Structure 1
Amino acid sequence: MITWLLLVSLFCKSTQDPNGQETCEYFVLYLLIVCQHKQHIRHTVPYIAVMPDQIGSTHFWNWSSHLSLECTSHSVRLRTRHKNYTIKEFHQILTVYCCYAFAGKDNSEKPMVYPQDRVFKVGSRVTFCCVLPAGDVLDKMYLTGSNNVNMNTTKISNQTYALTVYLNQPSKASCTDVRCESKTSDSGACVYIGYPPGDKDLQCETRDLESVECHWTVWRSTHLPKLATAYQLLGRYIIMKQYLNWTLTAENRLGKLELSDRADMTKRVHMFAPERVAASTVNARNVSLEWGWPVQQYRNLKITCQINVIKFLYDITFGINLAVLNDLIPNWTYNVTVRCATQHFWKWSDWSSTVKFHTKGDVPDALDVWMKMKGNQTTIIWKVSQISRLALLMIKKQIHLKLTNKLLSLFSATTSVNSSWIIGNNGSFSLSWSASPKASCGYIVDWCPTSGHCVVDWLRVPSYETNAVIFSNGVRYSLSIFACTQGAPVLLERREGYVKEESKMQMCDFLIRYCLLNVSVAQKYILFTNVLPMLHRNTRWPLQNIEMATAGFRC
């Protein structure tokens, strides 16, 4: 709490040795005694020794009191003896070298709390005192905002009481109030409880290749709003290793912190955003972009850039202010932004301002066309790519008529093949088939629910692959595999199955009868491996009748 600092200049009577050199014959021993309210509370044990070669210099000794000096009177005494005295003589012959006393504020006209306006670290154990006027009686002492647990006071003198507390939380407002209430009045002292600086993650960078910016994270609040943290940043260039060394010092009343960062600034370039972005050449499916730099030194750097086009990122690693975007949609409006970084990647720049352009029109791409025949009904369907979608809006009716006539001739003959069973896993079917020499342009896989409204979907597979993964839900599906030829597609295989078995089904007579009457249109298969023994135990049907009834189901 209160630190005593005692500086003493020591001298001794010198003598001459046979060679005529002056020496101190004895070393000196010192005993320091501290008294608090006329009571001996501390002394150096057993003593402090000062050697001959130290005599003549200044020495110091310090001690911190757990009580504020205002709480009660303090005094300190210094005694000395020389080496040639025995221990018994040491206690009998002590020279009082000096004495210092500090009178506390024991007499007060109103209650007073000490210490006042002090700063403490969270986790400290602190003793506060309350000095009452003569004749007044203490009621209680406490800290505001605490739970008042273990708030026991100790009587130091007739008018002085002490409260020792563990400061386990920081001040919530500007300060924490220590209150002292007596039978006649009350008083208090404002103290600040907080943390030393807790900053971290110092990082320094350059944006213009001429100056340096440093950033760090304030990890936690010091909770000392009226006692600001002082910061000092120092940089030093290491010529031999070509890097900069930065040191940040953060200091407040409770402590000091140093953070350091070392880096080659040519690899710590945080670029400004590109400026003056413009579409210099706009075609139907590609466009040329150009931009400038606010810092001319960027032209000497190796740069990589990203261009944001409708939430897709184009990575550009060539050029420093020019890029060409391909595979764009004809007759389409785009909003584009650009950001860049050096190839010694540190951070991306901010995004540039948005540039808007509209591509020219063009002939749409060929459609992906398919058809599904069921009985005497033929359904023609096609997929429109995003690139062709806008162009098709103008010629949709004409394309529909042409495709219908062509597809009817191509699909006029469809061979029939046997169907095999397939069970999916993890929400998908994994298909594989034997390669076919007929597949000159690859394979087509189509699928739709076996019963109900068939919404067909299809997938084109290159000729060098003979497998595909189809994602679907838990209903029963029919899947077909075709060979793509120059003429009509050739049906190679058919599959039927489901992805997920529906195991939780109601076991009752009504359900069994329902299944028997609707076997041909059921969307799911029922596996009777575990059902038959259960039915045999819990129904009046003969077992042979159940087996006959379920013969049409696939197990």
Structure 2
Amino acid sequence: MEIVKLVTHNTTLNGRDTIHHWSWTSDMPLECATHYVGIRCYIDDPQFSGRKEWSDWSPLKNISWSPDSQTKVFPQDRVLLVGSDITVCCVTQEEVLSAQIGSTYCPLIHLDGKNVAIKIRNISASESSGTNVVFSVEDNMFGTVIFAGYPPDIPQKLNCETYDLKEIICTWNPGRPTFLVGPRNTSYTLFESFSGKYVRFKRVELPTNESYQLFFQMLPNQEIYNFTLNARNPLGQSESTLLVNITEKVHPHIPTSIKVKDISSTAVTLSWHLPGSFAKIKLLCQIEINKTNSVHELRNVTMKGIENSSYLAAVDKLNPYTIYTFRIRCCTDPFWKWSKWSNEKQYLTTEAIPSKGPDTWREWSSDGKNLIIYWKPLPINEANGKILSYNVSCSSDEETQSLSEIPDPQHKAEIQLDKSDYIISVVAKNSVGSSPPSKIASMEIPNDDLKIEQAVGMGNGILLTWNYDPNVTCDYVIKWCNSSRSEPCLMDWKKVPSNSTETVIESDQFRPGVRYNFFVYGCRNQGYQLLRSIIGYVEELAPVVAPNFTVEDTSADSILVKWEEIPVEELRGFLRGYLFYFEKGERDTSKMRVLESGRSDIKVKNITDISQKTLRIADLQGKTSYHLVLRAYTDGGMGPEKSMFVVTKENSVALIIAILIPVAVAVIVGVVTSILCYRKREWIKETFYPDIPNPENCKALQFQKSVCEGNSALKTLEMNPCTPNNVEVLETRSTVPKIEDTEIISPVAERPEDNTDVQPENHVVVSYCPPVIEEEIVNPGADEAGGASQVIYIDIQSMYQPQAKPEEEPKNDPAAGTGYKPQMHLLVTSTVEDLATDDLDKSAGYRPQANVNTWNLVSPDSPRSTDSNSEIVSFGSPCSINSRQFLIPPKDEDSPKSNGGGWSFTNFFQNKPND
């Protein structure tokens, strides 16, 4: 036996036999185990002086419960608060194998016999069908259902109102769900304390957070109600109270049965039905008025409530022949809640006389013979009905001419008029009557000071402005048309008040990239004067085509290009200029790909003068292919390109110049050379082609036959005077061997001043022999000297052998030899000259025929040596082979002197004597 509960119960003894009660619910169902109860007491009285102690326990009382033979699991269908603990047992004669709550298995607690129990702690909220607890035996299953939930929450947002002052409707929100349904669901009772009446509410389905409502019938002559709402379920109860004046809580029903009745073309009567008895209160009803293309209008109507629920209201200030849509809602005064809007009611008001004449304009036909009158349909608010026809008339000071009626929808008439001034009138008619006439003059007021301007719009419209003109008394008319259309140019027109200075022209017909003509007219006494003429675009786009261009002229260094204007339809904006690109390149090989890339090899010309239609490209190369590209642009962008390949002509002038310049230079050089050669012909001849004396003409070599035959008795030749041949000797300087005068140059010659190395020159002396007079002179050297007449060429270097030192000179005796020695070495120093003279005098051979001392040793043809003390004599003239007599007379002192041996380029341009 186990003690499961020990409780102290306090009570008061009154001296009489009294039955005391104490209740207790066991955690273990009584059906599952035998329970025993024992009692003991203790007197706790301060006035009791005896011994205070517990009495003995009473005999235990067996509390047994006989379970139903059909029921095996206890307790059955218990309702618990969420989070509670419970013990469930199974009474059976069979062995229980397992137990589970929901899908969770629980450990078994074994009781007496085969009985078992399970302990469930902190149970969670059940589903709508409850939570199942199942015990399994070998061949069967036993179980029960547990319902875990919450007691009812306090009703929230309790509100009571009436729709018709006949029945009160109370609504509330149940609050937190209880998770108990069916018989365990929450029941609500609405109790009114003043009358003592109540109503009950009970739901079977699962409660949610939706609003609940109860209907309470109003009591006669009672306006104030005190309501208490009580909520109850097996786990507990709650309540909420509300005190309300029901006349201030009226929420009317939706108005129904709306009807409209005409009062006039501008006023109607509305009637509707509003369920309820509102005789004791006032109503405020709101009428919504809608018409096509207009903002809805609200009008409030206050009226006294009535018993029969039918109400009327008049609506005025309407437009004739206009479709209106009406709807109504109502509330009480003071305001509590609007009723819902009624269904819409549509109605067409009756017709009236048109309030205005048609908007009229006129244009002359292209031939100027007919006047075309245009007018626009009257808007609904001005037509006041269906327009049936139009009456057009024209009048002058003399007569009035009326045309037949023109039926609607025709809005144009044509009248044949002269150029006189007429007043045109147009009247619109409907079933009620005619409109006031619209008048316009047939002729325009001339304006000589008119300029065409440009304007660009804002995408779907264009802003036009003008200066205020006090002379404009009627209004302004702005007319526009597509510039590509033929005359008469009219697409639409618009009238603006005379005090305006600007307007925005918008039209669904406007398209981007299309040019329109706008004309601003001012009205003066029904006559119009053109004030401004404007061409414009609502939006500019790039041109769709490139300008067509051709090459008008091509030269060797330029190309003349001419292009045509782009049609207005394809220009799509105001032309701002042309971009002309050109570069060198053959067809299919041009590298012009991105024109705006800024490459240096592409030349660009921006032509901003749009009136220019030609361009000459200069500074080009002849016979060269060029790639030409032309593009037009507007503010809307750059148009496509048009390209062409052009080859420039060959530059004939340059070719001629290129040919003539070398020829001219060659001719000039040839002429100058010829002149110089002609002037220097003798010098050139002597330099390059000198005259060689013919030995056959030399008489000095004409010997006697006996001489030629080698006469042994030949004696020394006796010289007789002879006439020498004139020989001109020219002195030149050259680095190559050449024939010179009879100048003998010393090997130790004076070096040039610039100290440059000079190679020794081989000079050849031409000796010319005079005629020889035969004389028998015994000459031992005759055998050696015999021979044919000839010119003997003597190498000058062979004449100048290295000179001996002074002390060695006596060893070489010039007189040691006999006979004539023409190639002997001549000593030039004064001592040698004296010695040579003495030796020659002593010789038995040839003697010179002139005084050697008289020779000019310092002639220009005989340069001195600067490297020795002796002077080297160079013979300046051919001499006889047998004498040293000059064949050319000595030069005068006044004759020009040579500048020295050899020649230079500067000497070529200097004149020589005897030229």
TM-score, normalised relative to structure 1: 0.59
Offset at 1:233? 1.8
The answer for the alignment partner of 2:392 in structure 1 is: none
Deviations 1:488-507 (A, max 9, x none): 596698886669x9xxxxxx
Counterparts of 1:145-544 in structure 2, within 5 Å, are: 148=103, 150-157=104-111, 158-162=114-118, 164=120, 168=124, 170-173=126-129, 175-193=130-148, 196-197=151-152, 200-209=156-165, 212-217=168-173, 224-235=181-192, 244-272=225-253, 278-279=259-260, 281-290=262-271, 297-298=278-279, 300-306=281-287, 314-320=298-304, 321-328=311-318, 330-331=320-321, 338-349=328-339, 359-366=349-356, 382=376, 385-387=379-381, 388=383, 391-392=386-387, 396-397=408-409, 399-401=411-413, 402=426, 418-419=453-454, 436=468, 521=570, 540-541=594-595, 543-544=597-598
CA distance in 1, matches of 2:520, 2:244: 62
CA distance in 2, matches of 1:162, 1:411: 113
Q: Which runs of 5+ in 1 are unaligned?
A: 1-37, 502-511, 526-537
Deviations 1:402-430 (A, max 9, x none): 59997896999997664455667xxx989
CA distance in 1, matches of 2:192, 2:142: 50
Percent identical residues: 17
Structure number with the bigger relative contact order (C-alpha 8 A, sep ≥ 6) is: 1
Equivalenced residues, count: 470
Change (3 A) 1:184 1:541: same
Offset at 1:325? 2.0
Name which one, 1 or 2, has greater alpha-carbon Rg. Answer: 2
Offset at 1:131? 0.4
CA distance in 2, matches of 1:141, 1:270: 55
The answer for the alignment partner of 1:15 in structure 2 is: none
Q: 1:110–1:185: 8 Å Cα contact kept in structure 2?
A: no
The answer for the alignment partner of 1:118 in structure 2 is: 78
Q: 2:480–2:519: 8 Å Cα contact kept in structure 1?
A: no
Change (3 A) 1:163 1:476: farther
Change (3 A) 1:116 1:268: same
Change (3 A) 1:357 1:138: same
The answer for the alignment partner of 1:20 in structure 2 is: none
Q: 2:188–2:231: 8 Å Cα contact kept in structure 1?
A: yes
Q: Which amino acid aligns with 1:134?
A: Q
CA distance in 1, matches of 2:26, 2:573: 87
Offset at 1:136? 1.4
Q: 1:108–1:132: 8 Å Cα contact kept in structure 2?
A: no
Change (3 A) 1:551 1:290: closer
Q: Which amino acid aligns with 1:303?
A: L
Q: 1:141–1:163: 8 Å Cα contact kept in structure 2?
A: no
Q: Which among 78, 97, 117 is matched to residue 138 of structure 1?
A: 97
CA distance in 2, matches of 1:448, 1:482: 12
1:204 partner SS: strand
CA distance in 2, matches of 1:354, 1:179: 63
Q: Which amino acid aligns with 2:141?
A: D
Offset at 1:133? 1.6
Change (3 A) 1:410 1:211: farther
Deviations 1:424-453 (A, max 9, x none): 7xxx9897979846687888999999999x
CA distance in 1, matches of 2:278, 2:466: 61
1:317 partner SS: strand
CA distance in 2, matches of 1:192, 1:445: 86
Change (3 A) 1:333 1:353: same
Offset at 1:213? 3.0
2:409 partner SS: helix
The answer for the alignment partner of 1:534 in structure 2 is: none
Q: 1:176–1:192: 8 Å Cα contact kept in structure 2?
A: yes
Q: Which amino acid aligns with 1:181?
A: S
Offset at 1:474? 11
CA distance in 2, matches of 1:552, 1:160: 101
Change (3 A) 1:190 1:48: closer
Offset at 1:203? 1.8
Structure with the largest fraction of strand: 1
CA distance in 2, matches of 1:331, 1:152: 85
Q: Which amino acid aligns with 2:92?
A: P
2:279 partner SS: helix
Offset at 1:116? 1.8
CA distance in 1, matches of 2:477, 2:31: 96
Offset at 1:391? 0.9
Q: Quote the RMSD (CA, aligned, Å).
A: 6.1
2:387 partner SS: helix
Q: 1:278–1:291: 8 Å Cα contact kept in structure 2?
A: yes
Offset at 1:185? 0.5
CA distance in 2, matches of 1:497, 1:457: 16
Q: 1:136–1:184: 8 Å Cα contact kept in structure 2?
A: no
Offset at 1:103? 4.0
Q: 1:111–1:180: 8 Å Cα contact kept in structure 2?
A: no
Deviations 1:296-347 (A, max 9, x none): 6436425233356679564323444442223545456777554321232223
2:144 partner SS: strand
Q: 2:475–2:495: 8 Å Cα contact kept in structure 1?
A: no
CA distance in 2, matches of 1:460, 1:91: 118
Offset at 1:248? 1.8
Deviations 1:64-98 (A, max 9, x none): 6555444444556555546699xxxx999565479
1:266 partner SS: helix
Q: Which amino acid aligns with 2:145?
A: C
Offset at 1:287? 0.7
The answer for the alignment partner of 1:22 in structure 2 is: none
CA distance in 1, matches of 2:138, 2:85: 25
Q: Which amino acid aligns with 1:317?
A: V
Offset at 1:270? 2.4
The answer for the alignment partner of 2:2 in structure 1 is: 39
Q: Which amino acid aligns with 1:252?
A: N
Deviations 1:443-479 (A, max 9, x none): 8999999999x99898979968978898999967999
Change (3 A) 1:94 1:295: same
Q: 2:74–2:144: 8 Å Cα contact kept in structure 1?
A: yes
Q: Which amino acid aligns with 1:316?
A: N
1:298 partner SS: coil
TM-score, normalised relative to structure 2: 0.39
Q: 2:320–2:384: 8 Å Cα contact kept in structure 1?
A: no
Q: 1:230–1:252: 8 Å Cα contact kept in structure 2?
A: yes
Q: Which amino acid aligns with 2:250?
A: V
Offset at 1:39? 2.9
Change (3 A) 1:307 1:84: closer
